[in-house]
Structure 1
Amino acid sequence: MAIDALLRLEKVSKHFAGGIVGLNNIDLSIAEGEFLSLLGPSGCGKTTTLRVIAGFEAPTEGEVRLDGRDITLLRAFDRPVNTVFQDYALFPHMSVAENVGFGLSLRKIAGPERRKRVSAALDMVGLADKINQRVQALSGGQRQRVALARAIICEPRVLLLDEPLSALDAHLREQMQVELKRLQRELGTTFVMVTHDQTEALSISDRIVVMNKAAIEQIASPSVLYDQPATTFVAGFIGTMNLLNARLVSRETGTLRFAAGALSLDMPATGAIELRSGDGVIIGVRPEDILVSHERSEGSVGVAVEGVVFHGRSLRVHLLAEDKYSLTADIPRQSAHAALATGDRFFASLRPGASCPILPA
């Protein structure tokens, strides 16, 4: 990240009572106007990172800098940062307008100016017609929009979102993902979101921070994370990946041939030039890059169908190779092989031209 990053966490650690490590010496730079998501399994440190940025937790070690200024010891309400919480934290006895304008009232902003800004904020989130309603009368999606309006009205430098869509049903969550990205683009504000939903992070983030065991595994754009995971953990965590133990069996000009049991995998030599014949690696193969056929081809492996899961436009097929390792393949429903049943036998091979990460064993 460029040195003019808006927000920096420099060698930040957080230790809790009982020897629990919440964050372990993390470095993170966030650009102005960026939509960044923190993603990882439960207990990985993503919420602790958000709380350290917000000022709700003080780091045990390290610094938090905003616009180059050290804000590590600054209290939460003194930071130009607002948070949208998972439960929205709205005041049930107040109207929509009173909830949205609450922060302005604390700042002693006069009534006419406050009403103007409340109206503008509600218009931006599509709730101008709900301005005088009580929040109890609103749907979950509408309450979420009120919480967003309340957070943006004070024009924070950074907007923090703590799993903001987790309480919504799947259809509404998808709609709100589009709305969140639109809002962030229009405002130009830096958004930092904690989520456990990979689809959510991949669909709306400029970059994603994948965390594991209180540390950062990889920071990259959604496409890079999906196609070029830097570690075995990221490869197994982002989407679905077949992680195959393989060994290098031959090297030709520009091509490396690996063997995962009876399955042959040809890969470009780029990024693996230090490997020697016989070296072991882990190769990640996406389900969409596994082809099945009734005919054996060079380098294919015999497989038996263990289960089929309906995924709408495709079928997720669980296979057991003759070498007794598992494979997962995605078969388009229009494919000639879409009529699958448990016990059926096929041959599986790697799709020609597939881009597969080669990772240390």
Structure 2
Amino acid sequence: MVRDPLLRLEAVSKVFDGGTIGLDNVDLDIGHGEFVSLLGPSGCGKTTSLRLMAGFEQPTSGRVLLDGQDITALRPYDRPLNTVFQDYALFPHMDVSENVGFGLTLRKISGAEISRKVKEALDLVGLGDKIHARVSMLSGGQRQRVALARALVCSPRVLLLDEPLSALDANLREQMQIELKRLQARLGTTFVMVTHDQTEALSISDRIVVMNRGRIEQIASPAELYDAPATRFVAHFIGTMNLIEGKALETTGEFHRVAAGPMTLEVPADGAAPAPGAPVLVCIRPEELSVLASPSDDAVAAQIMSTVFYGPMLRLFVEIGGGQKLMIDTPRRTAAGTFEAGALVHVRPNRGSGRILSGS
């Protein structure tokens, strides 16, 4: 829970014509100066949430609050929020300065003041030298920066970003992720971004809201989401995860011990101790399993089914006793020429890795 949130969705639901549920009783607090990403698959409710914040949609029930004031009924242009759209929505018949200054022309501001603000906004996004360029002459990355400048020039309390980088190629997208985070940190403005790209959300967000079927599955920092997913959905959606069915053995000190076929896992005891013999579901990342060249008391035999090349890493798909299949990430430099399909290796779970999932 955020103390004194800047933006709040309070018990918000949205049901579209035909009965489709866009949001289902969502509560969400966003703090001053946060970079928050709404993350999830298509149809999860993330874009609906953003449109409700912006005023492009009205909730079926619930309220939208800004600094404690109910803004649910306010029209989009009466809210101190601006939106950067997925397609940038630039005016092709205007040059860069006219696009950036368009919102200011609707206010009682002098021409000189508009020119000053436009120049400051373009300098902020590194396009001061493109002030009189035609939009059609700009690259995708430059158009994205113009859209950002146009949204920022009016000094919004909150900047809403609707998948702003999705049209960019991979290299430019990565560069713009860094620029977005740098810009947000410099301005101190609250950013709320919709994305379906988990890597993007993990790399630049202060907190991530993982959504599924109109509800929030988990809200947490990138590290917490990655290390301690709260539900099976989050475990599947964030990164790559092994899900292992097992039985609880005992809790000793800071670890739960779990039997999973021939393998024994020792996972952090950060929740209620399961009863001995109770079925549990453990999630463990591929990098939290080690491959040994020779047998060990705490390792189990495994057969390599296939391998995938990931630059400095190899991902091994192996099978251990009982038919349990696992993914393991191991450094390629130490594994070159060693891990071929059909080879036998020994797998050891790192002590203190993985989590018992308590959510659905």
Superposition TM-score tier, normalisation by shorter sequence: over 0.9
Do the aligned residues in 2 keep the contact of 1:45 with 1:215 (CA within 8 Å)?
yes
Which residue is equivalent to 1:155?
Answer: 155
Q: Which deviates further from its counterpart, 173-182 or 329-338?
A: 329-338
Q: Which residue of 2 aligns with 1:165?
A: 165
Alignment match, 1:199: 199
Following superposition, the deviation at residue 336 of structure 1 comes to: 4.2
Cα 1:106–1:338 change in 2 (3 A) is farther
Alpha-carbon separation, structure 1, partners of 2:96 and 2:330? 48
Distance 2:30 2:79 in 1: 16
1:352 maps to 351
Shift of 1:297: 2.3
Give the drift of 1:48: 0.3
Q: Is the CA contact (8 Å cut-off) linking 1:208 and 1:221 kept in structure 2? A: yes
Q: Is the 8 A contact 1:293 1:337 kept in 2?
A: no
TM-score (norm 2): 0.96
Q: Which moved more, 1:58-67 or 1:326-335?
A: 326-335
- Offset of 1:204 from its aligned partner? 0.5
1:291-330 to structure 2, matched below 5 A, reads: 291-330=290-329
Q: C-alpha separation between the residues in 2 aligned to 1:251 and 1:164?
A: 46
Residue identity opposite 2:306 in structure 1: G
Q: Is the 8 A contact 1:264 1:349 kept in 2?
A: no
Aligned to 2:10, what secondary structure does the other structure show? strand
Q: Does 1:177 align with 2:184?
A: no
Pairwise CA distance, 1:174: 0.6
Percentage of identical aligned residues: 60
- Matched with 1:44 is 44
| 8 Å contact kept, 1:292–1:337 | no
Q: Is the 2:2–2:30 contact (alpha carbons within 8 Å) kept by the matching residues of 1?
A: no
Q: Is the 8 A contact 1:64 1:70 kept in 2?
A: yes
Which residue of structure 2 lines up, in the alignment, with residue 335 of structure 1? Answer: 334
State the Cα RMSD in Å. Answer: 1.4
* Residues 265 and 299 in structure 1, CA contact (< 8 A), matched pair in contact too: no
Aligned to 1:134: 134
**3-state SS in 2 of match to 1:132:** coil
* Alignment correspondent of 1:68: 68
Partners of 1:18 and 1:197 in 2: CA distance = 29
Counterpart of 2:355 in structure 1: which amino acid? P
Instruction: Please state if 1:258 is matched with 2:258.
Output: yes
Partner of 2:284: 285
Q: For the residues of structure 2 that align with 1:72 and 1:270, how far apart are their CA atoms?
A: 39
Distance 1:268 1:104 in 2: 54
CA distance in 2, matches of 1:62, 1:295: 60
CA–CA separation in structure 2 for the residues paired with 1:205 and 1:338: 39
Match of 2:118 in 1: 118
Q: Do 1:54 and 1:81's aligned partners in 2 also have CA atoms closer than 8 Å?
A: yes
> After superposition, what is the alpha-carbon deviation per residue over 1:12-39, rounded to whole angstroms, capped at 9, x for unaligned?
0000122110000000000011100000
| Aligned residues of 2:255 and 2:352 also touching (Cα < 8 A) | no
Partner SS for 1:276: coil
Q: Which runs of 5+ in 1 are unaligned?
A: none
Counterpart position of 2:237: 237
CA contact (8 A) 1:121 1:149 kept: yes
AA aligned to 1:328 is M
1:84-103, aligned counterparts within 5 Å?
84-103=84-103
Retained in 2: the 8 A contact 1:332–1:338? no
Listed one character per residue, the Cα deviations across residues 78-99 of structure 1 (whole Å, up to 9, x for unaligned) are 1111000000000111100110
Inter-partner Cα distance in structure 1 for 2:336 and 2:255: 30
CA distance, structure 2, for counterparts of residue 351 and residue 61 of structure 1: 47
Q: Structure 2: how far apart are the matches of 1:253 and 1:112?
A: 69
Q: Distance in 2 between matches of 1:337 and 1:312?
A: 12
- CA offset at residue 294 of structure 1? 3.1
The code of the aligned residue for 1:46 comes to K
**2:182 is paired with a residue of what secondary structure?**
helix
Report if aligned partners of 2:95, 2:131 keep a CA contact under 8 Å in 1.
yes
Given that 2:304 and 2:317 are in contact with CA atoms closer than 8 Å, whether structure 1 keeps it comes out as: yes
Matched residue type, 1:359: L
SS in 2 for 1:18: coil
| TM-score in terms of structure 1 length | 0.96
1:337 to partner: Cα distance = 6.4
1:299 shift after superposition:
4.2
Is the CA contact (8 Å cut-off) linking 1:315 and 1:338 kept in structure 2? Answer: no
**Which residue type is aligned with residue 300 of structure 1?**
A
- 2:303 aligned counterpart, secondary structure: strand
